[in-house]
Chains A and B, each alone.
Chain A
Amino acid sequence: MSAALPPRLPARRTVGALALGLVLGLVLLDLARTGGLDPLALPPPVALGSGLAPSGAHCTQG
Chain B
Amino acid sequence: MARAALLLLVLALAALALLAAGPRAILLLLIGVGFGLVLEGLRFGFAGPWRLLVAERDARGFLAQLIAIGATAAVAIPLIAGAGGELQGAAAPVGIAMIAAAFVFGAAMQVVMGCGSGTLVNAGSGNLVGALALFGFIAGSFAGTLHLGAFAALGTLPVITLQGVAGTGGAVALTLAGLALAGGLALRAAQPGRRMPPARLWLAAGLIAALATLNLIVAGQPWGVVYGLGLWGAKIATGLGADLSGAAFWAQPANARRLAETILADVTSVTNIGLIAGAFIVMRWRAPTAQVAPLAPRGWLAVLAGGLVLGYSARLAMGCNVGAFFSGIASGSLHGWVWFAAAFAGSRLGVGLRGRLLVPARTAGAPA
Contacts and interface: CB of A to CB of B under 8 A. Distances in A.
Interface of A: 3, 6-20, 23-24, 26-27, 29-31, 33-37, 39, 42-62
B185 interface: no
Interface of B: 1, 13, 16, 19-24, 27, 79, 83, 85-88, 90-92, 123-128, 130-131, 134, 148-149, 152, 217-222, 224-227, 231-232, 235-236, 239, 249, 254-255, 257-258, 260-268, 273, 276-277, 279-280, 283-284, 288-294, 314-315, 318-320, 322-324, 327-328, 333, 335, 360-362
A54 B87 contact: yes
A31 B267 CA distance: 15
Q: What DSSP secondary structure best describes chain A's contact surface?
A: loop
Given A16-B283, A59-B268, A45 B291 contact: no
A33 B20 CA distance: 12
Contacts of B222: 58
A12 B123 contact: no
A46 B22 contact: no
A62 B250 CA distance: 10
Contacts of B85: 53
5 contacts: A19-B276, A23-B276, A27-B263, A37-B265, A59-B315
A31 B263 contact: yes
B294 A47 contact: no
Q: What DSSP secondary structure best describes chain B's contact surface?
A: helix
B86 A52 contact: yes
B294 A9 contact: yes
Nearest to B148: A62
Given A58-B221, A61-B92, A12 B288 contact: yes
Nearest to A62: B148
Contacts of B255: 57
A44 B25 CA distance: 10
B111 to A, nearest CB: 19
Contacts of B1: 13
Given A34-B260, A54-B88, A16 B124 contact: yes
A10 B291 contact: yes
A7 B294 CA distance: 7
Given A6-B294, A12-B127, A56 B254 contact: yes
Contacts of A29: 239
Contact of A54 (B125, B219, B293): B219
Contacts of B20: 31, 36-37
A27 B273 contact: yes
B21 A36 contact: yes
Q: Find the residue from A8, A10, A24 having the highest chain B CB count within 10 A.
A: A24
Contacts of A33: 239
A45 B86 contact: no
A8 B149 CA distance: 44
A48 B81 CA distance: 12
Contacts of A10: 128, 291
Given A37-B261, A60-B319, A45 B24 contact: yes
A57 to B, nearest CB: 5
B57 to A, nearest CB: 30
A6 B149 contact: no
B262 A16 contact: no
A26 to B, nearest CB: 6
A3 B264 CA distance: 49
Contacts of A47: 86-87, 217-221
Contact of B264 (A15, A31, A62): A31
Contacts of B24: 42-46
Q: Identify the 3 closest CB pairs spanning chains A and B, nearest first.
A: A12-B126, A47-B220, A59-B323
Nearest to A50: B86
